[in-house]
């Protein structure tokens, strides 16, 4: 099996509602979808959501890195077995760096998009599931977290009630506004004492502000604080981690293995937020989660706002297969998107539960007709048939 065609689609999938946090507000997904075809006729799908304020990547850079660095390597390889295909996927970035030492450190989104398409393709061809990459399943089901965006108190009340009624036990709240304390107080009251509530400030504070905010919210039993201060302030993160007892989670500060090593060396956090589209797809994220486990750092599997069933499926396999994840986000599907793009419904429902996916590759069937109306640009990377 040899990949011969790679099409990158820029897609704006409409949301049912606006999603807001301290760095951005959006009402469409701004996704990059990859459709890869093999000489055997098999087709695989990949996805990434490049965010300049997270990895520094843009849609343009994702197309460029794939066109000039990753796709040419994949295209050279003919995989005779599933194991061989996994080996190619795993070493893709390493090989690209050997050829082009000047590649930027953070190419996680670019790698994620093309890696997922290749793994889905290989899985479909060799009739193997991406879930098999992780060995034995670590859990029978997943309990996803709900996310409450940086909205008004009234909207927050409505969302909290909906989540409580839906039986969600884990909630992440976007903070960094003036009424954080009011909002968290309300959410704790509505969700009840047993709910696990954590917060994400998306770099809204400086160290002093973060310490004050954390102290004032402590009474509401917050289980972790994500990215309280700007991503590049590693010394600040180090000071903060040592100044407060609530665990500090890094998100925008953690995009690559270089970042992971630096954070561990400085002991600048307690938890890593790993997101497939940020950390280099399945193999890039797996490398970071293995490293975290060896270094006694906890991990959350996070997601990007607006992921389709492609990244939901990849995340589902990852969450089923990786041991010790503290929190799991993803599979928001039609909670956020007007329509998802696969035949299977991956959106979590009651209690936030997600079940294992079966079937080859990602275990989903993408419906191209649902994507087509929202394509804003397409790039054909190459065909050597």
The residues of the shown chain that bind Mg ion, judged by CB under 5 A, are: 200, 226, 251
First to last CA, the chain: 13
**Could you tell me the smallest distance in angstroms from the CB atom of residue 254 to Mg ion?**
10
DSSP letter, residue 187: H
What is the smallest separation between the CB atom of 201 and Mg ion, expressed in angstroms? 9
Q: How far apart are CA 289 and CA 237, in angstroms?
A: 20
Q: Which residue, 128 or 326, has its beta carbon nearer to Mg ion?
A: 326
Q: Are 295 and 254 in contact (CB under 8 A)?
A: no
Whole-number Å distance between alpha carbons of 288 and 333? 26
Taking the complex as a whole, how short is the minimal distance between the CB of residue 268 and Mg ion, in angstroms?
Answer: 16
For 233, phi then psi, to 5°, come to -90, 70
Nearer to Mg ion, 199 or 346 (CB): 199
67 and 379 in contact (C-beta within 8 Å)?
yes
Residue 145 host element (H or E): none
Nearer to Mg ion, 37 or 300 (CB): 300
Residue 35 or residue 335: which is nearer to Mg ion going by CB? 335
Instruction: Using alpha carbons, select from 346, 345, 335 the residue that is nearest to residue 159.
Output: 335
Cβ-proximal residues to 158 (8 Å cutoff; 6+ apart), any chain: none
- Least spacing, CB of residue 199 vs Mg ion, in Å: 10
- Return d(Cα 278, Cα 49) in angstroms, integer: 8
Q: What is the DSSP letter of 46?
A: E
Question: Measured from the CB atom, is 51 or 111 closer to Mg ion?
Answer: 51
Q: Where are the alpha helices (DSSP H) in 175-327?
A: 180-191, 207-217, 234-243, 257-266, 276-279, 281-294, 309-321
Q: Which residue is nearest to Mg ion (CB)?
A: 251
CB of 372 to Mg ion, least distance (A): 31
Output 42 or 200, the one with its CB closest to Mg ion: 200
Cα R_g (the chain), whole angstroms: 20
C-beta of 291: minimal distance to Mg ion in Å? 20
Question: Nearest 10 degrees: CA dihedral of 143, 172, 362, 346?
Answer: 70
What is the C-alpha separation between 276 and 123, in angstroms, rounded? 18
Q: Rounded to the nearest whole angstrom, what is the least distance from the CB of residue 259 to Mg ion in the complex?
A: 14
3-state secondary structure of 24: strand
Of the pair 54, 92, the CB lying nearest Mg ion is at 54
Give me the least distance between CB of 151 and Mg ion, in Å please: 16
- Of 147 and 371, nearer to Mg ion (C-beta) is 147
**Cα distances (angstroms) measured from residue 377 to each of 58, 308, 355:** 14, 18, 34
Backbone angles phi, psi at 147, to 5 degrees: -125, 130
CB closer to Mg ion out of 275 and 316: 275
For the CB of residue 153, give the shortest distance to Mg ion in the complex, in Å: 22
């Amino acid at each position: 099996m040899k990949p011969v065609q790679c099409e990158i689609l820029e897609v704006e999938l409409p949301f049912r509602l606006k999603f807001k946090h301290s760095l951005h507000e959006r009402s469409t997904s701004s996704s990059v979808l990859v459709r890869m075809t093999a000489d055997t006729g098999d087709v695989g799908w990949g996805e990434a959501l490049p965010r300049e304020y997270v990895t520094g990547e843009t849609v343009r850079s994702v197309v460029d890195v794939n066109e000039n660095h990753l796709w040419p390597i994949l295209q050279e390889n003919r995989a005779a077995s599933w194991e061989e295909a996994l080996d190619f996927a795993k070493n893709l970035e390493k090989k690209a760096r050997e050829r082009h030492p000047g590649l930027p450190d953070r190419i996680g989104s670019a790698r994620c998009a093309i890696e997922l398409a290749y793994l889905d393709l290989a899985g479909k061809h060799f009739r193997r599931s991406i879930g098999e990459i992780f060995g034995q399943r670590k859990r029978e089901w997943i309990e996803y977290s709900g996310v409450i965006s940086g909205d008004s108190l009234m909207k927050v009340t409505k969302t909290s009630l909906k989540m409580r009624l839906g039986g969600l036990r884990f909630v992440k709240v976007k903070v960094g506004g003036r009424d954080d304390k009011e909002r968290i107080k309300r959410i704790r009251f509505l969700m009840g004492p047993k709910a696990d509530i954590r917060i994400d400030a998306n770099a809204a504070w400086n160290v002093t502000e973060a310490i004050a905010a954390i102290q004032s919210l402590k009474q509401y039993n917050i289980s972790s604080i994500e990215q309280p201060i700007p991503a590049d302030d590693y010394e600040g993160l180090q000071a903060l981690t040592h100044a407060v007892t609530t665990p500090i989670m890094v998100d925008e500060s953690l995009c690559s293995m270089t970042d992971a090593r630096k954070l561990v060396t400085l002991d600048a956090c307690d938890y890593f937020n790993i997101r497939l589209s940020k950390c280099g797809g399945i193999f890039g994220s797996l490398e970071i989660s293995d490293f975290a486990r060896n270094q006694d750092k906890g991990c959350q599997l996070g997601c990007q706002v607006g992921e389709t069933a492609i990244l939901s499926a990849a995340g589902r396999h990852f969450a089923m297969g990786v041991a010790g994840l503290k929190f799991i986000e993803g599979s928001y599907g039609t909670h956020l998107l007007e329509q998802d793009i696969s035949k299977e419904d991956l959106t979590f429902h009651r209690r936030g539960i997600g079940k294992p996916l079966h079937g080859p590759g990602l275990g989903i069937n993408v419906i191209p007709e649902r994507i087509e109306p929202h394509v804003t640009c397409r790039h054909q990377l190459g065909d050597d048939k």
